[in-house]
Structure 1
Amino acid sequence: MVEFGDEEVSNAERIASSADRRREAWGATLDDMTALADEYEEEGWETVRIAAGSTGTFGPGDLEGDEETFGIAYVVPGDKAEEVSELFEQSSFPEYEVYRAENDGLVYMVTALLAPDIETAVFVAGAWEQRTALNCATTAIERGQMFSYLQKLDGTVVGVVEHDDPDKFFPNLDAIRRYAPNVDDESEDGDAAADEDDDTDA
């Protein structure tokens, strides 16, 4: 029989508090997307607003059978997928802006994908975990490019955008490293291996 004392209650309260903060952060992200889209509409642009059903980062080797692809993938709701696919047939959405905030290990982000040639802006709101982003982030920084993938729930890609400034997505790589699992262990293993090499050389 498990006894629930003050410590357990405290843990439950912390979990509930975290969930509340995340709901508030997500709500604020959606509010930001609405405000940004409204501004573009006032200037005569057509807008599409997408609250991603799921968002995740991935790096080379994270996808089975794919050793090169990396970026952030957003699941587009079914009622928006066809519209987005048609828009990407008309433009490559060459311009973009990124608005982000961090809370409890999550990054809440609105990406504005801009197509001045057709005066259309696609706003995508999503949230992703920093602890799983290291592979994607380090690859993006090293290569100087980043990708956003808009896809259906079944994985069908309806739009891809290449970005030339990964720092907009990952302004603080050290923060992501702190959340990444086993990074310290790997570092210590590397140091130990280096010490063994030094001993051998001696």
Structure 2
Amino acid sequence: MADMTATAETYRDRGWTVLEVHPGDSVLVDSAARTGLDVVLPGPEYEELEAVAAECAFTAVETYRAEADGLVYLLIVERDPENETAVLVPAYYDPGGSEPKVDAIRESGEFTLFCRRLNDEYVLFVHTDVAPFLPGGLADE
């Protein structure tokens, strides 16, 4: 969370509008409904994200990844350079036992970030470069 705050301040210092979200849970998913990273947001934050997503075209992403204690930690910065708007999404997942999900993501050639509320409404971000989101070594196999 400290990394997210520092990154958000960097964007704000450059004059960008920044939305920081605080997922309650995050997990890799591979089902008929969703394949990618699923993060659950509190209702008010989801509503803010939904409003921002309706006004912006997020065409760029920065991904910061760290691996420690058997987990993959991500800070995903969805960016709309034209409107100078960024959405920061911290997430984590346990890659242990997730090889089939990682394989499904790699085979699809897309990494989808599902930011959702508990009633399964969601805002999604789709990326065609999957490597920055996957555990080291698994992305390039």
TM-score for both structures, normalised by structure 2: 0.90
**One-letter amino acid of the structure 2 residue matched with residue 32 of structure 1:** D
Q: Secondary structure at the match of 1:139?
A: helix
Q: Name the residue aligned to 2:59.
A: 94
- For residues 94 and 135 of structure 1, the distance between their equivalents in structure 2, rounded to whole angstroms, comes to 28
- For residues 40 and 106 of structure 1, the distance between their equivalents in structure 2, rounded to whole angstroms, comes to 27
Provide the identity percentage.
Answer: 28
Residue ranges of structure 2 left out of the alignment (5+ in a row): none
- For residues 102 and 72 of structure 1, the distance between their equivalents in structure 2, rounded to whole angstroms, comes to 16
Q: Secondary structure at the match of 2:39?
A: strand
Q: Secondary structure at the match of 1:52?
A: coil
Over the aligned positions, Cα root-mean-square deviation in angstroms equals 1.6
- Give the conservation status (yes or no) of the 8 Å contact 2:76–2:90: yes
Q: Name the residue aligned to 2:79.
A: 114
Residue ranges of structure 1 left out of the alignment (5+ in a row): 1-29, 175-202
**One-letter amino acid of the structure 2 residue matched with residue 168 of structure 1:** P
Deviation at 1:75, TM superposition (A): 0.8
Q: Name the residue aligned to 1:143.
A: 108
The number of equivalent residue pairs is 138
Deviation at 1:154, TM superposition (A): 2.5
More helix by share: 1
Deviation at 1:135, TM superposition (A): 2.5
In the TM superposition, 1:6-45 aligns within 5 A as 30-45=1-16
Q: Name the residue aligned to 1:161.
A: 125
Greater RCO, CA 8 A, separation 6+: 2
- For residues 5 and 102 of structure 2, the distance between their equivalents in structure 1, rounded to whole angstroms, comes to 27
> For residues 80-127 of structure 1, what are the alpha-carbon distances to aligned partners after superposition, in whole Å with 9 as ceiling and x for unaligned?
111100111112311101111112211111100001122110000111
> For residues 133-172 of structure 1, what are the alpha-carbon distances to aligned partners after superposition, in whole Å with 9 as ceiling and x for unaligned?
3223112222322110100122221x11110110111132
- For residues 132 and 78 of structure 1, the distance between their equivalents in structure 2, rounded to whole angstroms, comes to 30
More strand by share: 2
Which 4+ runs in 1 deviate beyond 2 A?
A: none
- Give the conservation status (yes or no) of the 8 Å contact 1:58–1:135: no
1:57 partnered with 2:10: no
Greater gyration radius: 1
Deviation at 1:132, TM superposition (A): 4.2
Deviation at 1:128, TM superposition (A): 0.9
